[in-house]
Amino acid sequence: MKHKAFTLIETVLAVAISAIVMFAGAQLMYNLVKTSEFFETNWSLRAHADGVERYLRSSFMNSNITKASKLPEVLFSRNKNNLCIAKLFEEENSNRYYLVFSEKKAHPMYLPSTGVAVEKICFLDFIEGEGLSIIWTTNESDDRKRQAEPIIYKTFLTPYVKQLSYIYPDTVWREEPKLDTAINAMPEYVKLVFERHGETITRIISLKPVIDFQISR
- List C-alpha distances in Å: 10 to 3, 14, 15, 18, 103: 15, 6, 9, 12, 76
Tens digit of each residue's pLDDT, the chain (217 residues): 555 666 777 777 777 777 777 776 677 676 655 655 655 555 689 999 999 999 999 999 888 887 666 787 887 776 665 888 888 887 777 888 999 998 887 777 777 666 655 778 899 999 999 999 999 988 654 443 445 567 888 999 999 999 999 999 877 788 998 887 777 778 999 999 999 989 999 999 998 765 444 444 4
**What is the reported pLDDT for 191?**
96
- List C-alpha distances in Å: 173 to 73, 84, 103, 167, 168: 27, 20, 29, 7, 6
Q: Phi/psi of residue 20, each to 5°?
A: -65, -45
Residue 177's nearest CA partner among 128, 142, 136, 144 is 128
Cα distance between residue 206 and residue 58, in whole Å: 10
Contacts 24+ apart (CB under 8 A), 120-128: 121/65, 121/67, 121/70, 121/71, 122/59, 123/86, 123/88, 123/98, 123/99, 124/56, 124/98, 124/99, 124/100, 124/164, 124/190, 125/98, 125/154, 126/161, 126/164, 128/162
Cα distance between residue 6 and residue 194, in whole Å: 61
**What is the reported pLDDT for 33?**
59
**What is the reported pLDDT for 5?**
60
Cα distance between residue 76 and residue 146, in whole Å: 24
Number of other CB atoms surrounding residue 58 within 10 Å: 12
**What is the reported pLDDT for 3?**
54
